[in-house]
Amino acid sequence: MAVGAYRKDTNTIQLEVMSPDVTPLFLEIPLNEYEAPKDILPPNASSTLYVEGLPEDCTTREVAHIFRHFGGYKEVRLVPKPSIYPGANTLILCFVDFLSPLHAAVAMDALQEDMLPPNASSTLYVEGLPEDCTTREVAHIFRHFGGYKEVRLVPEPSIYPGVNTLIHCFVDFVSPLDAAAAMDALQGYKFDLDEHDSGNLMLQFARNPGVTSAGGDC
């Protein structure tokens, strides 16, 4: 199976359309709520994506969390390839199958520019929560995202009289990829639609994911 020419390089995750022997284009296939890419599909486009930049310990389920919400998703196939150099990490070959080249192109277009920063972790630090929020309330916001594990709320009383308690919120996921997907979707999320002055959530990767008490570097 040769690699197609339809490719954009990034610093981390990179996707390519693979070229099987016979893969007709089905441009009439509807994409439901997803829009078709504006650019014309290249002649070598196929229904399978090749994904680079995955860590050695990633799992099929972990990668599926990233792709399965796209229309036409079928399955993820991970193929380990041991390095020919002693001590070098195993290379993970990842293939993601879709119903048609058009479905594959939509997923590639949406994910191609995604890039995890060096400080990415599997824990998000969430700001903008009201003082009276609960762990269960925050969990309702995050738990439907792939890889979600738990919410941890750490109250920090203010040193200034009359100032509200600060709520430190940490949300744990299975992997940095899962955390990044949730952060991208919820950045700026309005906490209370019925409250005019409700704040918006501000999310970032936690600098100290294991913190369990106030006073540490979040």
The answer to whether residue 212 is domain-embedded is no
Q: Which of 96, 114, 126, 118 is nearest to 180 (CA)?
A: 114
Same domain, 145 and 100: no
Same domain, 72 and 27: yes
| 142-149: average pLDDT | 90
Please check whether residue 135 is in contact with residue 32, taking contact to mean a CB–CB distance below 8 angstroms: no
Which pairs with CB-CB distance under 8 Å and at least 24 residues apart come from 215-218? 215/156, 218/125, 218/168, 218/170
The answer to whether residue 15 is domain-embedded is yes
Pairwise CA distance, residues 58 & 61, whole Å: 8
| 150-155: average pLDDT | 90
Query: Mean pLDDT lowest for which of 58-62, 109-113, 132-136, 194-198?
Result: 109-113
The answer to whether residue 179 is domain-embedded is yes
The answer to whether residue 86 is domain-embedded is yes
Same domain, 7 and 94: yes
The answer to whether residue 218 is domain-embedded is no
Same domain, 56 and 88: yes
Three-state SS string over 145-205 comes to CCCEEEEEEEEECCCCCCCCCEEEEEEEECCHHHHHHHHHHHCCCECCCCCCCCCECEEEE
Pairwise CA distance, residues 86 & 190, whole Å: 51
Mean pLDDT, the chain, rounded, equals 76
- Positions of E strands within the chain: 2-7, 14-19, 48-52, 73-81, 91-98, 123-127, 148-156, 166-173, 202-205
Q: What is the pLDDT of residue 113?
A: 53
With a cut of 50, say whether residue 194 has pLDDT above it. Answer: yes
pLDDT band at 19 (very low <50, low <70, confident <90, very high): very low
- Helix, strand, coil percent content, the chain, rounded in steps of 5: 15, 30, 55
The answer to whether residue 214 is domain-embedded is no
pTM higher than the cut 0.85? no
With a cut of 90, say whether residue 16 has pLDDT above it. Answer: no
